[in-house]
Each structure stands twice: as structure tokens, then as C-alpha cells.
Amino acid sequence: MSTLSPNLSAIPSLRVSCSHCNLREHCVPLGLSLRDIDRLEDLIASRKRIHRGEPLFRAGDRFEAIYAIRLGFLKSSVMSSDGREQVTNFHMSGELIGLDGIANEVHSCDVIALEDTEVCVIPYERILAACSEIEDYNLHFQKILSREIVRQHGLMLLLGSMHAEERLAAFLLNLSQRFESRGYSRTEFVLRMTRAEIGSYLGLKLETVSRVLSRFSHDRLIAVNQKHVHIIDAEGLRAIVSGQNPEEIIEE
């Protein structure tokens, strides 16, 4: 996965044209006329740069905009009553974030950059106006909301009914598919999150994540070099997810 150069501030502050953005199919509905695309470009109020470790927004911040990720990788997390962080999602280029604030007009989670990141800032009031004026965009936005519901259902299934190996195999395959849809390699990528963050997201202990990754590597399903992952046997990972793996399951 490509990353921003270290000198993030050197990027020009000019608004990026949606019509020339190689990620527009993830943000903009297919089939729009150039005129409608030009109108959607007016949705973008500005671009915002967030350095690694910095928040895009925090839980309790006033909701004003939705953000389209141009470059970078972020995580969403909430704090439990005893002060522990619970990672709820990982976000990459081409995705929209900030939808959590629609319901109560405040954000319900922290969103932190896992690497230097740049987002397009889209004020929510402009989105509502576009939805009322451009039917295809209204349908597109509804699909985005629906996908978020489907994602939450998938996460509940992942955490509620899968063993540790199944959870981690599904996680790696999901990342593979997401990278491929953005034009990156589906078999080789860099994990921007830590093992502990993966464990928090999947409901596993850090030691379990490390143990399962080591087992996958031993079984020649993947090769791991620090944060670099090479998927050697995607079918083998799919067999684990579908419960066809005959080997002993590592349980949490």
C-alpha cells in the first residue's frame, strides 16, 4: 500500500477534482454526468491533513461533516467504562467516515490516523442538499448507510460465532479484498495497525493474535515480516473461515 511522503505539508492545498480522482468510484456513484460530478465537487469544503497518531475527531465533538479518505489509514475506537480502548473499525482510502455523528449531532467515537492521512471535508448540510437535488447521489448515500449496517452485522457474526483462527483469517481476507478494489496487491500489503489493535477489533488477546499469525506462517498460509504480510494460500484461509480446516482450532 502506498503512503504519503513524510513532508505532508508540501502537498498543495488546492481542492482535488473528483472527476480526476482515482478513488472516485468509492465516493461518487457510477454513471453521473460530468455536470453532476462538477456539482458534487462543490460539496468539498476543504482538505484536511492528519499526522500519524493525531485525531480526525474525538467522541463528543460536534458533528458537522463527513470525511472522504484520499490517502492514509485510520482507526475508530470507543472507550469502555473501565478505560480500555475498543477498536471498532479500520478505514482506508476511498471510504467515508464520520457517519456516527448523524444520529445525535455529536461523534460517538475517536478516529485516529494510523499513518499520515489526508481527507476531503464534506459538510453534512451540503450532502443533504445534494441528496435532494441529485437522485443518483441520494441512492448512493443510502447505500453507504446500508453498507455500514451490513458491516456491523458482519462484525457481530465475527465476534459471536467464530474461533480465533476464523476471525483472523476473515480479517486478512477482508483487507486483501479492500486493497485489491483500490488497485493494490491483494496478496501483499502492510498492516498499519498493531497486533494489539487487531486483537481489540477481533475480541482477541494480543498473545492470541501473535500465536495465530505464527501458526498461519508455519502452515504456509501467509508469510509475515514485522508488519508486511504476504498471503500465500488464500484458499486455505477461506477454508478456515468456512470451517473446513481439519486442524485443531485455537480458541480464545
- 135-183 pLDDT, tens digit per residue, is 777 887 888 888 888 878 777 777 778 899 999 999 999 999 999 988 8
List, for residues 178-237, the tens digit of each pLDDT value.
Answer: 999 888 999 999 999 999 999 999 999 999 999 999 999 999 999 999 999 999 999 999
List, for residues 69-114, the tens digit of each pLDDT value.
Answer: 999 999 999 998 888 899 999 999 988 899 999 999 999 999 999 9
Q: Is 170 exposed, middle or buried (CB count within 10 Å of its CB: 0-12, 13-18, 19+)?
A: buried
CATH number assigned to the domain covering 15-158: 2.60.120.10
CATH class of the domain comprising 162-241: mainly alpha
Average pLDDT rounded to a whole number, residues 8-12: 35
d(CA 67, CA 122): 6
d(CA 13, CA 16): 9
pLDDT of residue 242: 87
pLDDT of residue 3: 37
Tell me the percentage of the chain whose pLDDT exceeds 90: 56
The answer to whether 127 and 63 have CB atoms below 8 angstroms apart is no
Which segments of the chain are extended strands (E)? 46-50, 55-57, 65-71, 73-79, 85-92, 96-97, 110-113, 117-123, 188-190, 222-225, 228-231
d(CA 115, CA 123): 24
Delimiting residues of CATH 1.10.10.10 domain(s) in the chain: 162-241
pLDDT of residue 167: 94
Delimiting residues of CATH 2.60.120.10 domain(s) in the chain: 15-158
Residue 57 has pLDDT above 70, yes or no: yes
pLDDT tier for residue 36 given thresholds of 50, 70 and 90:
low
The model's pTM is 0.81
Most trustworthy range by pLDDT among 33-47, 115-129, 152-166: 115-129
